[in-house]
Amino acid sequence: MLSDTLTEGLDQYEIGPKIRALRLKKGLGLVQLGEHSGLSTAMLSKIERGQNFPTLPTLLRIAMVFGVGLEHFFVQDQRPYLSITRKKDRLQMPDNPNSASPAYRFESLNFAASGRKMEAYFAEFPPDSEPADAHRHDGDELIFVIKGRLIVNIHDTDEILDAGDSMYFDSSAPHSYQCAGNKPCSAIVVVTA
């Protein structure tokens, strides 16, 4: 069973409607398409209605009937790109997976979006943790503190951010994070490539 995020990601390609459009354009019924592709009518019907997603070999069998390549099903219209990541599907990444008390945990908010031009994270910084190791990466970074207080060390200076504060900086400079105080801190972190 596919997660909601994967289902929504596959739905964006509208593979079923594209197969139906090709079939109707060629004047074929489901039974005829089944005969040409070697696939059952029931399976083809479920694929066209979006109740099932075909495997690549199955999709290739259908594509060969219509004389199109697999790319026909994956090229999207010129509509604006849309990607949804459900909370239950977010990937969680601690700063140090081997640490008993990592300095922070990042959860990717847009891992399912292909071709993304930024990385967005929900970050949690537990109290009483050691500061994260300084790191650097290309691009820019924006931090918006949701709750608690956060220390961002950049250029060997501690900048303290309270809830509602934001900070934008060149992330090629070494920087690190640490929760300030005895209450947990959470923030949204956006990084551009």
Please check whether residues 51 and 98 belong to one and the same domain. no
Q: Is residue 39 part of a domain?
A: yes
The answer on 101 and 183 residing in a single domain is yes
Residue 110 domain-assigned (yes or no): yes
Q: What is the pLDDT averaged over residues 47-73?
A: 92
Same domain flag for 109 and 178:
yes
Looking at the structure, tell me whether residues 147 and 188 fall in a common domain: yes
Contacts of 156 (CB under 8 A, 6+ apart): none
- Asked if residue 79 belongs to a domain, the reply is no
- Given 74, 102, 120, which residue is the final one in a domain? 74
Q: How many domains does the chain have?
A: 2
- Assess if residue 16 is contained within a domain: yes
> Binning pLDDT at 50, 70 and 90, where does residue 77 land?
low
For residue 146, what are its two tokens? 């949701």
* pLDDT category of residue 111 using cuts at 50, 70 and 90: confident
* Residues facing residue 124 across a β-bridge: 105, 186
20 domain residue, yes or no: yes
Residue 175 is given by DSSP the state: E
Residues 123 and 185 in one domain: yes
Question: What is the pTM assigned to this prediction?
Answer: 0.60
Instruction: Count other C-beta atoms under 10 Å from residue 66's C-beta.
Output: 19
Domain extent, residue 11, equals 4-74
Q: Which of 25, 45, 74 is the last residue of a domain?
A: 74
Q: What residues contact residue 36 under an 8 Å CB cut-off, 6+ apart?
A: 28, 65
Query: Token pair for residue 165?
Result: 């504060």
Q: Is the pLDDT of residue 4 over 70?
A: yes
Q: What is the DSSP letter of 89?
A: G
User: What's 22's domain CATH number?
Assistant: 1.10.260.40
| The token pair that represents 69 in the structure block | 């390549």
Residue 82 lies in a domain: no
- Same structural domain, 51 and 102: no
| Predicted confidence (pLDDT) per residue in 131-164, tens digit | 788 999 999 999 999 999 999 999 999 999 999 9
Please indicate, yes or no, whether residues 66 and 100 belong to a single structural domain of this protein.
no
The mean pLDDT value of the chain amounts to 89
